[in-house]
Amino acid sequence: MIPQNLLQSTTQKCTTGCPILDRLLRGGIPCDSITEIVAESGSGKTQICLQLSLHAQLPVSHGGLSASALYLHTEFPFPFRRLHQLSLSFRSSNARHLPCNDNPCDRVYVQSVHSADELLEIMSKTESFIESSKTQLPVRLIVIDSIAALFRSEFDNTPVELKRRSSLFFKISSMLKALARRFNLAVLLTNQVVDMVGPNEGINGLRIGNLGCLYTSGRRVCPALGLAWANCVNSRLFLSRHEEVNREENGKLIGESGGFVCKQTRRKLYVVFAPHLPESSCEFVITREGLFGVEITAC
């Protein structure tokens, strides 16, 4: 056993496709590491995943991994149309770095997963798939969207089942980490949230990361799957959304007369914990072209 030379190893990052978000994440989603995005539905988890899958194809000199992506989805249906839409703007803005007449969607391998056991089976096959893939770009990004969906229904709330569940967590995590290590992969997972019922602290007075910021849609939430799973990821990001009612200058609601209120959603990305990042946050918007950070300038 020989220690690894730290001077020669730098962590590669995969760009998110937005310079502002990349700056917050110091270059993007790191390789040889598991990054988790926690958010309630409709916050933009899947959007980030899709965008990252496309941007992994960029050459290393442009922040990508020059690699294809393996996209495991557990929530149905897979948003093909949105991926296609994103791929159009991705191709037009990065035409110089991509082979022409080529569809970026071809290098996003999509696989559906229905249960935790199936996930284990797929992951054991993934190794040979990555090794044998003769495509011009090797797989260097694994996305699982979402990990929570696999576990939220299948298990009972009894000590034996919970124990089996947490043992599975560690198994999945260590398989992913071993893959990430072996092929220098970036791994991105999404997770859902559960509402927090207790008074101030999390479940059983438990706090994982800086919970103070975990508000979304005016509710206090905490990441699903509990403490055991939190030990399985390296970095955790959180997306929040808040509906804001647009008001006119005189304070009258826009469209009030029409019977419905025009709402605007403010979205924010937080770093909950990460070994290489400070706790920080950034607002972002989701447009037709994708997901972009917004720098708030003092006005």
Partner 1 sequence: MEIWRLPISASQRGKLISAGYTTLSSLSSISSSDLARESKVSESEALDILKFASHSHSGGWEMSSGNCSIFEGAQNAWDMLHEEESLVHITTSSADLDNILGGGIHCKEVTEIGGVPGIGKTQLGIQIAVNVQIPHGFGGLGGKAIYIDTEGSFMVERALQIAEACIEDMSEYNRFIRKDFQACEIRMQPKDILGNIFYFRICSYTEQIALINYLDKFISEHKDVKVVVVDSVTFHFRQDFDDMALRTRVLSGMALKLMKLAKKFSLAVVLLNQVTTKHTEGSFQLALALGDSWSHTCTNRIVLYWNGNERYAYIDKSPSLRSASAAYSVTRRGIRNSSSSCKRIKMM
Q: Binding residues for partner 1, per CB under 8 A? A: 1, 3-7, 9-11, 26, 30, 32-34, 159, 166-171, 174, 177-178, 180-181, 204-210, 212, 226-228, 230-231, 233-234, 236, 272-273, 275-276, 278
What is the nearest approach in angstroms of partner 1 to the Cβ of residue 150? 16
What is the nearest approach in angstroms of partner 1 to the Cβ of residue 99? 32
Specify the residue, 131 or 244, whose C-beta has the smaller distance to partner 1. 131
Specify the residue, 228 or 294, whose C-beta has the smaller distance to partner 1. 228
Instruction: Give just the sign of the alpha carbon dihedral 55, 147, 232, 205.
Output: positive
Which neighbouring-strand residues pair with 56? none
Own/partner contacts of 161-165, CB < 8 Å, gap of 24 or more, are 165/228
Specify the residue, 7 or 100, whose C-beta has the smaller distance to partner 1. 7
Specify the residue, 26 or 91, whose C-beta has the smaller distance to partner 1. 26
What is the nearest approach in angstroms of partner 1 to the Cβ of residue 286? 26
Specify the residue, 83 or 187, whose C-beta has the smaller distance to partner 1. 187
DSSP code for 39: -
What is the nearest approach in angstroms of partner 1 to the Cβ of residue 5? 8
Specify the residue, 71 or 270, whose C-beta has the smaller distance to partner 1. 270
C-alpha distances out from residue 224 to 9, 123, 221, Å? 34, 22, 9
Q: What is the C-alpha to C-alpha distance for residues 69 and 52, in angstroms, rounded to an integer?
A: 9
What is the nearest approach in angstroms of partner 1 to the Cβ of residue 13? 10
Do residues 251 and 261 touch, judged by C-beta distance below 8 A? no
38: left (phi over 0), alpha (psi -120 to 50) or beta: beta
**3-class SS at 69?**
strand
Burial 154-184 (b: 16+ CB within 10 A, else e): ebeeeeeeeeebbebbeebbebbbebbeebb
What is the nearest approach in angstroms of partner 1 to the Cβ of residue 195? 18
Residue 178 one-letter amino acid? A
